[in-house]
Structure 1
Amino acid sequence: MAKKVVSPKKKIVTVSAPIIPEPSMVSPIPKLSPKILTLGLVILGIALLTYKVGPYFVPAIVDNRPLTRFEVWSRLEKSYGKQTLDDLVNEKILDLAIAQSGVSIPQAKIDDQIKTLEKQFEGSGGLDQILSEQGLTRAELTKQVVTQLSVEEILKDEVVPSEEEIAQQFADNKDTLYKDKKLDEVKADITTELTQTKLRDAFLTWFAEVKKTAKVKSFGL
């Protein structure tokens, strides 16, 4: 007699539909304010810069708050920006005027002037010490020497004192600066003094004319 085959009962799996909340029940994802996002990026950038390049961009940290080099530059610009800009503009104008004059100073003359300065400051710690205190380098000093010698060369025909001027200078000061001295004894000193005075006056007049012809566009700070 054949056996009855009993089929296994099928399990019925009920799948619940996903519960989709009503839009009103879901809190919207807060949007970042552009200002907050920008501030965060700035702080992150400062942190990375501090880590990678340290004091170049962040020269100081006060109570874990960075003092950026930009802040330092900004303060310096407000305090000295206008004067510094004017100085740099005048320097460029002077350099251009010297170049256009065609004046060339021999290296030997430059070296002699540097040696004179070295000898002058031997008793004050040396020329390099003086330069360090003034925040100058040898290269910057050399440039200043070249500029001075170039101006003297350009204006040399206007700064030679006459014999009459020398005699008058002696007469005006014979009872004070040159008391008990003869003209021949102090003539060289008087000549140097008058030359420097005339050079200063001639330079101011000459440079004022140079500035009139210079094309300068200043956009302010």
Structure 2
Amino acid sequence: MKKFDVSILSVAILLTGLVVLGVYQAGEKDNDPALVKAGDTSITQYQLYDEMKSMYGKQMIQELVAQALVKQEAKRQNITVAPEELDKEIDSIKQQIGSEQAFQDYLKNMGMNEQKLREKLSVLLTRDKLLDKAFPVTEEQIKQYYEENKASMGSPAPEFDKVKEQIKAALVDRNRGENYNNWINSIQANHKVEWLDPSFEDKAANVPAAPAQG
């Protein structure tokens, strides 16, 4: 079963907050409604936005940039994710979480519904397809891995054909993790990203996060 990659989903609430609160610019502080009163102190909407931007803004903007780049590159290469592929991922997540109710509770805690989850997963699957096309696992790599590691696979070692697909899956994950940063940077250069606010710029657009190993 494919390991559920939550890296891009774990920031969903923060993303939503930044998008909603982003309408509050510095010049609009006079129209800044209070969200909470703590004794004689009011916590305002702009204060929340300002704090979130300070702590998470750079990560969030890079998240959005990387998502946009993945979608644009997929369109350029005519790579798509079928609804059936998303259904399979959703079913896998439900199995890992344990029950339909636990799945719904998870969505609620993440501040999203199933449609939003499908949108996020579509980006992840698209990213993986692009990486696998750019850095395919070869038969030679699989055989080399088998020869180098078969001594640790048991005694006697399993036949190559019996572990070939398992090895391939491991190498696919390794290829994605090792090549993601350079790949997304090259995509960023090709699509000419222009950072209008230099404080958000980063040489490595590392989100969506590189796939988890295993």
Q: TM-score if structure 2 supplies the norm length? A: 0.64
Call closer, same or farther: CA 1:155–1:80 in 2, change over 3 Å: closer
Among 159, 183, 188, which residue is 1:206 paired with?
183
Do residues 179 (structure 1) and 154 (structure 2) align?
A: yes
Match of 1:115 in 2: 91
Call closer, same or farther: CA 1:96–1:132 in 2, change over 3 Å: same
Call closer, same or farther: CA 1:60–1:95 in 2, change over 3 Å: same
Count of residues in correspondence between the two structures: 167
> Which structure has the larger Rg over C-alpha atoms?
1
Among 112, 115, 118, which residue is 1:139 paired with?
115
Among 168, 179, 200, which residue is 1:191 paired with?
168
For structure 2, the 5+ residue unaligned runs are 1-29, 200-214
Q: Report the Cα distance in structure 1 between the residues aligned to 2:189 and 2:40, rounded to whole angstroms.
A: 52
Call closer, same or farther: CA 1:207–1:187 in 2, change over 3 Å: same
1:13-47 per-position Cα deviation (integer Å, ceiling 9, x unaligned): xxxxxxxxxxxxxxxxxxxxxxxxxxxxx6xx77x
Call closer, same or farther: CA 1:157–1:96 in 2, change over 3 Å: closer
Q: Is the partner of 1:59 in helix, strand or coil?
A: strand
Q: Does the 8 Å CA contact 1:110/1:146 hold for their aligned counterparts?
A: yes
Give the Å deviation of 1:211: 0.7
Q: Report the Cα distance in structure 2 between the residues aligned to 1:201 and 1:188, rounded to whole angstroms.
A: 20
Higher deviation after alignment, 129-138 or 104-113: 129-138
1:153-186 per-position Cα deviation (integer Å, ceiling 9, x unaligned): 334444443333222222332333x122313332
Match of 2:16 in 1: none
Give the Å deviation of 1:138: 2.1
Call closer, same or farther: CA 1:160–1:86 in 2, change over 3 Å: closer
Q: TM-score if structure 1 supplies the norm length? A: 0.62
CA-atom RMSD in angstroms: 2.8
Q: Does the 8 Å CA contact 2:66/2:184 hold for their aligned counterparts?
A: no
